Structure 1
């Protein structure tokens, strides 16, 4: 199996997939190698690769919280959801407000995202609501209340991104899994035990694929567990220093089709 991150890895900076990469993915599946996308993106933001599906079309989304079948029409079908419990999300909000004044939150649910008014909105989503995180998580009268929480996002306007991650883990690490994939101070919090690696391991076990049969690609801290679990792992040339330090293999940057170059070599070697 080939397990690849998207942003900063498979996708170029303009969020496109190059013709070379499309051809390499198709060739891999034609040779009997499964391809699975493993990303922090929610399923509804997977249109960037939905036109390049071959074989099963599975994707691990929201840093492992959702396993989705992208072949669903008109939208991806959610195969498995591993939620962040509301009590843990609320405890995290309270702990981070005390540890990092100025923090703001967004709540990612299976059907959409909801923001605090002060949170910097990177993508406009139809149906998003705006309220304090405590209300977003606890308002049983909300139309979205019955939708599982798949990720809590915490943004700080001034903190160093890596230092903010360390602070978040220290302040509230008992309530969830903390990681980051943005160049800004933006934490991504999933349910306890939820990561790209743990969901990938489960998906592989269901298919009779062992860790040593997986080749993984990534560039940011949210890829570290997946890269460590996989038998062969590649850091992109543009990867975060922690990712470069944790992997033994390197490939070209996302702009230079680093994933495609490795796949081509695997198929011809």
Structure 2
């Protein structure tokens, strides 16, 4: 894992004034150890709200894992979930829009990967809940959403797949992602959000955090140059490149670091809050 260096508040490397929209990834970025928002982070979110600056959570998490964070932070605005496939109103707990992967594309993606690699298992995050092949080892307990079966059965009728999860218990996630990018180019969009699990996340072609954020910012009348974004993983790369100012967290994935304009201090040191505090003071 690469480590970057930054100024104490991580903000001197880029110019610009106060942002109109702050977009932040959650895990490893806005949230500290244990997935908890610190008092300083909570104060920063409140300061943005008081200043009329939009805050948008932009995460790979499914909606079901967004609600606890919204409750913890008091966030009632927009959240972009599932790497951009879902736009969610955290206050009303309502999905505003969804972009799904066609069942035929799910089946084709699985077939292509299995032709290259053994041990591939698949799960699906859908509009109807979590579904998985029998051999898929889930990282977390999904509660009641435990539909199991072969992939064709899980897709009939179409449950609205917002994200396809592909695991391989041997090898690294970087190796798996490299194969997925090669084999699935032009079909779907693969990425990953954490090195601790050998899992690649696959969305419909054209879906990304950046695409969803761009559309949401436009709906608010916020220009690209007035958006500040924070992230730490490959699934944040497009967003960091698109935003007027993109900050990668110190210690973040090399792809995120390369895509960003500057570094923010690590999440354990309230890096997002440090940078935003400085920007709000301008």
Q: Same fold (TM over 0.5)?
A: yes
Counterpart CA distance in 1 for 2:145 and 2:261 is: 44
For residue 216 of structure 1, the aligned residue among 229, 243, 250 is: 229
For residue 40 of structure 1, the aligned residue among 60, 69, 73 is: 60
* 4+ runs deviating over 3 angstroms: none
Matches of residues 23-38 of structure 1 in structure 2 within 5 Å? Answer: 23-38=43-58
Equivalent residue, structure 2, for 1:63:
83
Say which SS state the counterpart of residue 57 (structure 2) adopts: strand
Of residues 159-168 and 88-97 in structure 1, the stretch that sits farther from structure 2 once superposed is: 159-168
Matches of residues 99-248 of structure 1 in structure 2 within 5 Å? Answer: 99-125=116-142, 126-137=144-155, 139-140=156-157, 145=158, 147-183=159-195, 184-248=197-261
Of residues 247-256 and 128-137 in structure 1, the stretch that sits farther from structure 2 once superposed is: 128-137
Counterpart CA distance in 1 for 2:145 and 2:264 is: 40
Counterpart CA distance in 2 for 1:242 and 1:249 is: 13
Counterpart CA distance in 1 for 2:68 and 2:25 is: 12
RMSD: 1.2
Q: Given the alignment of the two structures, is residue 263 of structure 1 paired with residue 276 of structure 2, yes or no?
A: yes
Q: Choose between structure 1 and 2 for higher RCO, CA contacts under 8 A separated by at least 6 residues.
A: 2
Instruction: Spell out, residue by residue over 1:4-54, the C-alpha distance to the aligned partner (whole angstroms, 9 max, x if none).
Output: 000110111201111110100110121111000000001110133212234
- Post-superposition shift, 1:185? 2.0
Of residues 128-137 and 184-193 in structure 1, the stretch that sits farther from structure 2 once superposed is: 128-137
- Structure 1: state its 5+ residue gaps: none
- Post-superposition shift, 1:159? 2.0
Counterpart CA distance in 2 for 1:127 and 1:245 is: 37
| TM-score normalised over the length of structure 1 | 0.93
Counterpart CA distance in 2 for 1:155 and 1:169 is: 15
Instruction: Spell out, residue by residue over 1:115-141, the C-alpha distance to the aligned partner (whole angstroms, 9 max, x if none).
Output: 11211111222132111223212x33x
Say which SS state the counterpart of residue 122 (structure 2) adopts: strand
> Are 1:238 and 1:254, in contact at CA under 8 Å, matched by a contact in 2?
no
- Structure 2: state its 5+ residue gaps: 1-20
Count, aligned residues: 259
Counterpart CA distance in 2 for 1:151 and 1:163 is: 20
